[in-house]
Amino acid sequence: MEPARDAGATFVDTTLTDHTYALVPTLTGTISYIKNFTQDQDVAAVMPSSSFLVRRVCKWIDFDEPATIVEYGPGNGVFSEYIAEHMTADSTLILVETNAEFVEMLEEKYADDDRVFVVQDRAECVEQILADHDLDEVDYIVSGIPFSFLDEETRIELLETTHDVLVDDGKFLVYQYYNHLEEPLREHFAEVTKEREYLNVPPTIRAYEACK
């Protein structure tokens, strides 16, 4: 039986021909997530995102052009690895992560890449983080942090701040397990596209492209 679909959403076939990408993440990455899931209330997933979800979200990034990209909650770096591999040599990637173990992993991973900066802080502090890097605006913000874990005031403030730090044609690319974020996104952004990715654990995750 085909899973139920949300009314008004855009759906794209998830069939992919590149079999070099696996649905199930590496064992090491999975163990790391399970450990932090049980110890850190800000970690909402027990497994890293699948490569299918990564490519679904990142297809909304124009990797042919130099860009400044921020990622909220990169975890062990599944999305950031894909972004760093595809972005131009003069692009910048700022990873904002609260979990100390993930921060250490990311710092080690990108120690030799001067395009990537790892910051141990909360997404709510993005304006100050950008100021610390002599930046006012960014082209893209990618986020997998669980907005459902935030109280309403913090959630709205973060959406407003995210909107404000994007360039005029910037995009907020976010993925969530539930559909609770669609309405707030539509209230804060000019155009919102929603898709679902079934090839992920857990499946039926929502991916949103929110254009300023």
Please, what are the domains in the chain? 41-211 (3.40.50.150)
CA distance to 17, 61, 80, per residue, from 23 (Å): 13, 22, 17
Measured distance CA(212)–CA(210) in Å, rounded: 7
Q: What percent of the chain stands above pLDDT 70?
A: 78
Q: Which of 79, 212, 89 has the alpha carbon at shortest distance from 142?
A: 79
Does the pLDDT of residue 23 top 80, yes or no? no
User: How confident is the model at residue 37, as a pLDDT?
Assistant: 41
**pTM summary value:** 0.80
Does the pLDDT of residue 31 top 60, yes or no? no
Does the pLDDT of residue 75 top 50, yes or no? yes
| pLDDT, tens digit, 9 for 90 and up, residues 104-113 | 999 999 999 9
